[in-house]
Amino acid sequence: MAAERLWNANIHYHSILLKAVPKTAQCVLDVGCGDGILSAQLFRSGVPNVVALDVDVGVLERARARHPGLPIDWRWGDIFDLPPCADQSFDAVLSVATLHHMDAAAGLTRFAELVRPGGVLGIIGLAANNWWDLPYASVGFCVRATVRMIRGYWEHSAPMAWPPQHLSRNQKNSPRHSSRRPIQSSPPWSLHSCLDQTGPC
């Protein structure tokens, strides 16, 4: 099935991010890329260099298998572990349903550091509802259920963590560490002239 025909509540918002990416963008980072749907859409929309980053090895392997032949730079890693040489390296940094898995303030700061001056930071995220949000949330739930019945629902293959640790009104800091193996044999995360000296941007 073509990526453009898939639908779920996350994919529904991809078009907003795709429109936000500058027409002249040469290098875009997809943080928490999951199955790589947005990354593939970015490349097909004309972005020549797409870096797809995720902390889960398995989902990266599935993403690469799902989009064979696309020259996307699939990278295992944590956004907080990227070195200073990656700063200001991207024309756009995008993220869908990832920010609520980290401290929001720290995440937004790190995302912004990676964007080149004049670039775009685009985030689709989740937040816990206050009681006054419930009427709007109820309407949204009904609309989503209706669209799901009409269009069908595609379930991503990324590991589920619900409720997320940081989906709350009071964000709390937590250390960022990972014990997972890289998707390849311990390659460093790369940008051009950064770490492995072979990155695309």
Query: What residue segments make up the domains of the chain, in order of their start?
Result: 1-201
The CATH code of domain 1-201 reads 3.40.50.150
pLDDT at residue 3, as a whole number: 45
**Using CB atoms within 10 A of its CB, is residue 109 exposed (0-12), middle (13-18) or buried (19+)?**
exposed
Higher pLDDT residue, 150 or 135?
135
Tokens of 72: 């996307």
Higher pLDDT residue, 55 or 5?
55
**Structure pTM?**
0.74
- Specify whether the CB–CB gap between 44 and 23 falls below 8 A: no
DSSP SS3 for 8: coil
pLDDT tens profile 108-134: 999 999 999 999 999 987 767 777 878
Of 14-23, 28-37, 65-74, 163-172, which range is least confident?
A: 163-172
Distance separating alpha carbons of residues 60 and 53, to the nearest angstrom:
8
Distance separating alpha carbons of residues 159 and 173, to the nearest angstrom:
22
pLDDT at residue 83, as a whole number: 81
